[in-house]
């Protein structure tokens, strides 16, 4: 295995760096005791002629050769390790690692990886470069809120690869996505989707002065119904590099069911309907919920629907968040025609189907429930189920968790324009738990008991 060294000293990327070095050299030359760069005393060398090795600091003064190793306790390698091999660089791998550790640093997999960070990154780099990389063991567990669902979590090193792949190929796909494609795209979360839909509702109703209708659809068992063969064709249209396409296929066609560890109570799996389990799907169907790659692949998959909605159906008011999408129009006949088209197009082109129990066609004035908020005339409210769940969880949470949980829900409720009453109810629950709340009902503080 090729041995790499990381330079753990990050240089300042600023003009002031060069100015400071220049000034130091000038001042050094003015000092009478300074050693001339042309000095021929035995043992003296010009440090500008010393060949630098990543991981070694060398002084910038003209003096005897002095080197110091970077401390092994440093945990964040810089981008000085830049060896271009087969389409990716060490700098890209380091960036992917830093992106990955942002929210996963306290997990057991991340702690184990960072215990010997340099060696593990080097090994991962070499496996990717020589084509021997294979995804490792996944962790499977079941969540029960808002409904039972199985989650497959990849190892930390595999998550780094997911970020590496997404950072390279993600922008080329997302640049072609429509502006109304939301979820798992930077700046396009639930708040963006709710505000975007509210703007469309105001536009088509001319600020609630004219009647209009909405068609809301949901895909049945979406993630476990994704056809990997179709998805591979869609991905290949924009990935020309052989190495990146091979890595994409490695991630896409990896089956986590062949090597996984079950966490939590195994009996919870019985709460997940059989048709919603990845475990029960054929090998060519289904993406594991819980990985960045799956979220990105899902957007690429449904971009086919977005493009049809905009360019074939000529839908002026359309928005999608993962597998939930909404059409707005003044005519119910037009919306029914769209429903017929989508009902036939999705199974034929993508192999997915609409959930008939979640297909809604009704007047906008009744309120449009989307991404956890309900858009009503002149206001946007938090969904009642979400609000009630927040009140229940904060009331029943352990004392040590109340502060963090309450602030999280305050932030969620604040996203709605009509949220004062909901935040007041939450504040009452928080005060009953012994915590203080600010006057605007937007933040809680730790109580004395906490």
Give the pLDDT of the chain (450 residues) as one tens digit per residue: 455 554 433 443 444 434 433 444 444 444 444 433 334 434 443 333 333 333 333 333 333 344 444 444 434 444 444 344 457 888 999 999 999 998 888 888 899 999 999 999 999 999 999 999 999 999 999 998 888 999 999 999 999 999 999 999 999 999 999 999 998 899 999 999 999 999 999 999 999 999 999 999 999 999 999 999 999 999 999 999 999 999 999 999 999 999 999 998 888 999 999 999 998 999 999 999 989 999 999 999 999 999 999 999 999 999 999 999 999 999 999 999 999 999 999 999 999 999 999 999 999 999 999 999 999 999 999 999 999 999 999 999 999 999 999 999 999 999 999 999 999 999 999 999 999 999 999 999 987 554
**Strand runs labelled E in 50-206:** 56-58, 67-69, 138-143, 149-153, 181-182
Q: Which long-range contacts (CB under 8 A, 24 or more apart) does 440-443 make?
A: 441/410, 442/410, 442/414, 443/407, 443/410
- Tell me which residue has tokens 């979400």: 386
Contact 211, 217 (CB under 8 A): no
Predicted confidence at residue 202, as pLDDT, reads 97
Predicted confidence at residue 122, as pLDDT, reads 94
Distance CA 323, CA 314 (A): 20
Contact 441, 427 (CB under 8 A): yes
Three-class secondary structure of residue 68 per DSSP: strand
Rg of the chain on CA atoms, in Å: 28
Nearest to 118 by CA among 201, 55, 63: 55
Distance CA 196, CA 182 (A): 10
**Strand runs labelled E in 345-431:** 360-363, 368-370, 373-376, 379-382
Three-class secondary structure of residue 400 per DSSP: helix
Distance CA 173, CA 325 (A): 20
Nearest to 128 by CA among 236, 241, 247: 247
């Amino acid at each position: 295995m090729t041995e790499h060294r990381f330079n753990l000293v990050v240089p300042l990327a600023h003009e002031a760096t060069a100015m400071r070095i220049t000034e130091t050299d000038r001042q050094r030359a003015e000092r009478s005791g300074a050693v001339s760069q042309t000095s021929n005393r035995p043992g003296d060398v010009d440090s500008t002629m010393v060949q630098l090795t990543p991981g070694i600091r060398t002084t910038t003064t003209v003096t005897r050769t002095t080197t110091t190793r970077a401390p092994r306790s440093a945990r964040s390698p810089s981008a000085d390790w830049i060896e271009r091999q087969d389409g990716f660089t060490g700098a890209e791998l380091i960036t992917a690692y830093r992106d990955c550790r942002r929210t996963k640093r306290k997990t057991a997999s991340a702690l184990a990886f960072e215990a010997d960070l340099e060696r593990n990154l080097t090994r991962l780099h070499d496996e990717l470069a020589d084509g021997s990389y294979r995804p490792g063991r996944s962790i499977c567990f079941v969540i029960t809120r808002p409904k039972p669902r199985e989650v497959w979590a990849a190892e930390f090193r595999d998550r780094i690869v997911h970020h590496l792949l997404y950072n390279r190929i993600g922008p080329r796909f997302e640049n072609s996505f429509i502006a109304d494609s939301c979820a798992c795209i930077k700046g396009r979360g639930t708040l963006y989707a709710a505000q975007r839909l509210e703007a469309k509702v105001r536009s088509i109703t001319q600020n609630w002065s004219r009647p209009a209708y909405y068609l809301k659809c949901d895909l049945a068992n979406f993630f476990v119904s994704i056809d990997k063969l179709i998805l591979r064709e869609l991905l290949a249209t924009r990935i020309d590099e052989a190495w990146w396409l091979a890595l994409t296929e490695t991630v896409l066609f990896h089956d986590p069911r062949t090597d996984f560890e079950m966490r939590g109570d195994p009996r919870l799996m019985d709460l997940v309907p059989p048709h919603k389990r990845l475990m029960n799907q054929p090998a060519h169907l289904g993406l594991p919920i819980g990985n960045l790659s799956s979220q990105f692949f899902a957007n690429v998959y449904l971009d086919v629907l977005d493009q049809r909605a905009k360019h074939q159906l000529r839908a002026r008011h359309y928005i999608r968040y993962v597998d939930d999408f909404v059409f707005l129009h003044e005519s119910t006949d037009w919306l029914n025609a769209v429903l017929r088209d989508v009902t036939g197009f999705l199974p034929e082109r993508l192999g997915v189907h609409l959930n008939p129990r979640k297909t809604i066609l009704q007047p906008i004035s009744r309120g449009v429930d989307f991404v956890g908020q309900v858009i009503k005339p002149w206001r946007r409210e938090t969904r009642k189920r979400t609000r009630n769940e927040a009140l229940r969880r904060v009331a029943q949470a352990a004392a040590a968790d109340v502060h963090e949980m309450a602030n999280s829900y305050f932030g969620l409720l604040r996203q709605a324009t009509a949220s004062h009453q909901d935040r007041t109810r939450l504040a009452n629950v928080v005060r009953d738990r012994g915590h203080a709340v600010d006057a605007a009902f937007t933040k809680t503080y730790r109580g004395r008991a906490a």
